[in-house]
Chain A
Amino acid sequence: QQQVKQSPQSLIVQKGGIPIINCAYENTAFDYFPWYQQFPGKGPALLIAIRPDVSEKKEGRFTISFNKSAKQFSLHIMDSQPGDSATYFCAARHNAGNMLTFGGGTRLMVKP
């Protein structure tokens, strides 16, 4: 049973486009929602994160939108660049034990 569902699985955009990646969760015990970026051959690295008491968070070109009632959150990448090409994972942290449950990942390609 996948507790965090992520879509799409892959995404191709042109440079300057705004890719949007969506995630949905079921467990109301999740209390923190990070996004990780992973390049080939590397470990995931934290990109941006949000708590459920906030509806939007922006850091540079990356924005998270959070809808608590719908149990959904999404990542928007403004003015996307070829260097943003990577796999993106949403995650949700359980309020006991700090264990992260990851979505299935989205492979993003930004074409020059």
Chain B
Amino acid sequence: DTAVSQTPKYLVTQMGNDKSIKCEQNLGHDTMYWYKQDSKKFLKIMFSYNNKELIINETVPNRFSPKSPDKAHLNLHINSLELGDSAVYFCASSHRADTQYFGPGTRLTVL
């Protein structure tokens, strides 16, 4: 019973392509997040989203957009992929301001 799951686990694609990463949580949480972890292991928040509010880290390019079809899902869409987008992307969820639970990550490689 995976609490926070992501697909795919690995994603290899060419520069300029558009791709999506899916995230699902079965914890009944109301808030979901996307984080980016670069090659130096540095973790940075990209988005925080609940059904009322989307908070965007101002440093995130507008090529990145979160889309939530329902409360249990928050997908990450990336347009016009660039080499610098290569990283591990983590989805997380929480109930309001409580503990955030992270998914296993998606390693994106842009060639």
Contact = CB atoms under 8 A, between A and B. Distances in A.
A52 interface: no
Contacts of B31: 98
Interface residues of B, number: 25
A98 to B, nearest CB: 4
Contacts of A89: 43
B45 A99 contact: yes
Interface residues of A, number: 22
Contacts of A46: 99-101
Interface stretch (A21-29, A37-45, A76-84): A37-45
Contact of A49 (B99, B101, B103): B99
Interface in A37-69: 41-46, 49
Contact of B103 (A43, A87, A100): A43
Contacts of A97: 48, 53, 55
A105 B96 contact: no
